[in-house]
A = this chain, B = another copy of it.
């Protein structure tokens, strides 16, 4: 590869997308594989993004009246079994605690001892254990609605894992609410979907389609699952958040009953909704380029790095004083309800330093040397532009404009991702064209696919599963915003009342 085309990440996205993803995660210092099967280590640069996600979502949840609480990590097996579909859905991927002690075994090594009477499952999700508390907290319609959220780790023993996207342990929030009427619970389900969509678009700069899952993709035990779906740069779909209307299923399983205003005892109506560290994977695959990740400023681990250029030792004092004073000035400014996060990197000059920050995706890189200081200006690189494009700008003007520049970057990232999705979404009514769209041989590499196909579907499981079998393509969602339109099922030609989104998915 010629110097002209040098990029920081090998391979490029076009060369090998899945491997590009692994290399970007590594190069950005966001996360490591861990020695524990399928678990990840989230490094400070990645965890800072999660902290920002928590901060913003917490505020959004709180605005709707939700309060945080914390429930046990372990679920007694008998609890999980209370809802038949639910346990069926999670039984194949449960970490099970069976002992509460270690003891020297016959060969001298430590072995599990102190067997439990009842095995405990490490929570894969908490409907049943939280339901037990709710059954005690709710007795009258006056106790409703009950609006609770929990930030927690959960475990689903995945066989094929990929950092951030699918890991045996991940971090998430799970909201759980209880209502007196079906209508109110349905409205809450939609309200939280809207929160996720707004968060994804306004903070992650990730365009999403709001939709409804088909029966086969529903949360185990739910009556209805709503979701937001995003398109990654390999044109696959990523489910980025889900909100479930649980009907009275879990209220019956956990005996969540209340005395209504007319003194009738009724089962309550519940919802649950969650978003996880998977969002960080989505962020990388939405905005990354061949030089690494690009962090949307509103959620970035840090906003700007200042890199002093010190070629002669005698310049150090002056340059560092200038850099420190600029850092202080910037840190006093606010951007989206938090102070600007400023990094100072005074390691020795060289390509490595600048490249590291490009790979980490920091929105703004600022170089400052004696000549810049003499001119009272700074030399700025924007991560959303190519790595060669840098501009000298007067210090005062830079400080004055910085939040505006960050918003410009945020906007650019969103528009770029939206354009990408539009470019790779297509309306298809012909079965052969549909099959060609999703056949890998018709695309530049085996792991890059057609994109989103909006096609008609008759509503039958059979057609859905045939397409899945043939193409590994699934219905990502039945979009909420697409108007009903009569048509013919793309698979069987049977009558359909609207288009759905087909895609390969993470």
* Complex interface bits, A493-505 against B, C-beta within 8 A gives 1, otherwise 0: 0000000000000
* CB-defined contacts of A100 to chain B, threshold 8 Å: 93-96, 157
Contact check: which of B39, B112, B133 meets A96 at CB < 8 Å?
A: B112
With an 8 A cutoff between CB atoms, is A440 at the interface?
no
Question: A75 near B36 (CB under 8 angstroms)?
Answer: yes
* Minimal beta-carbon separation of A456 from chain B (angstroms): 39
Closest to A154 in B: B73
Q: Given contacts A94-B100, A102-B94, A110-B77, is CB(A71)–CB(B35) below 8 Å? A: no
When all copies of this chain in the complex are counted, the total is 2
* CB-defined contacts of A109 to chain B, threshold 8 Å: 81
Which residues between 12 and 35 of chain A lie within 8 Å of chain B, taking CB atoms? 32, 34-35
Q: How far is the CA of A94 from the CA of B157 in the complex (A)?
A: 20
With an 8 A cutoff between CB atoms, is A413 at the interface?
no
With an 8 A cutoff between CB atoms, is A194 at the interface?
no
Question: A44 near B68 (CB under 8 angstroms)?
Answer: yes
Contact check: which of B72, B81, B102 meets A77 at CB < 8 Å?
A: B102
Question: B42 near A69 (CB under 8 angstroms)?
Answer: yes
With an 8 A cutoff between CB atoms, is A398 at the interface?
no
With an 8 A cutoff between CB atoms, is A153 at the interface?
yes
Question: A157 near B101 (CB under 8 angstroms)?
Answer: yes
Contact check: which of B44, B114, B120 meets A36 at CB < 8 Å?
A: B120
* Complex interface bits, A385-409 against B, C-beta within 8 A gives 1, otherwise 0: 0000000000000000000000000
Q: How far is the CA of A110 from the CA of B98 in the complex (A)?
A: 13
Question: B95 near A74 (CB under 8 angstroms)?
Answer: yes
Question: B70 near A41 (CB under 8 angstroms)?
Answer: yes
* Complex interface bits, A195-213 against B, C-beta within 8 A gives 1, otherwise 0: 0000000000000000000
Question: B92 near A68 (CB under 8 angstroms)?
Answer: no
Q: How far is the CA of A333 from the CA of B91 in the complex (A)?
A: 50
With an 8 A cutoff between CB atoms, is A136 at the interface?
yes
Question: A51 near B68 (CB under 8 angstroms)?
Answer: yes
Q: Given contacts A36-B129, A112-B119, is CB(A103)–CB(B79) below 8 Å? A: no
With an 8 A cutoff between CB atoms, is A148 at the interface?
yes
Q: Given contacts A42-B70, A44-B67, A74-B39, is CB(A93)–CB(B99) below 8 Å? A: no
Q: How far is the CA of A36 from the CA of B120 in the complex (A)?
A: 9
With an 8 A cutoff between CB atoms, is A342 at the interface?
no
With an 8 A cutoff between CB atoms, is A47 at the interface?
yes
Q: How far is the CA of A110 from the CA of B102 in the complex (A)?
A: 25
* CB-defined contacts of A327 to chain B, threshold 8 Å: none
* CB-defined contacts of A76 to chain B, threshold 8 Å: 35-36
Q: Given contacts A36-B129, A44-B69, A68-B51, is CB(A92)–CB(B101) below 8 Å? A: yes
Question: A98 near B99 (CB under 8 angstroms)?
Answer: yes
Q: Given contacts A41-B71, A69-B41, A72-B34, is CB(A120)–CB(B95) below 8 Å? A: yes
* CB-defined contacts of A73 to chain B, threshold 8 Å: 39, 122, 153, 155, 169
Q: A34-B133, A94-B99, A101-B157 are in contact. List 11 more A-B contacts (CB 8 A).
A: A34-B71, A42-B69, A42-B71, A47-B67, A47-B68, A70-B171, A77-B102, A92-B101, A94-B100, A96-B102, A98-B98
> Please, could you name 5 A-B residue pairs with CB atoms under 8 Å apart, sorted by A?
A39-B74, A43-B69, A73-B153, A122-B122, A153-B153
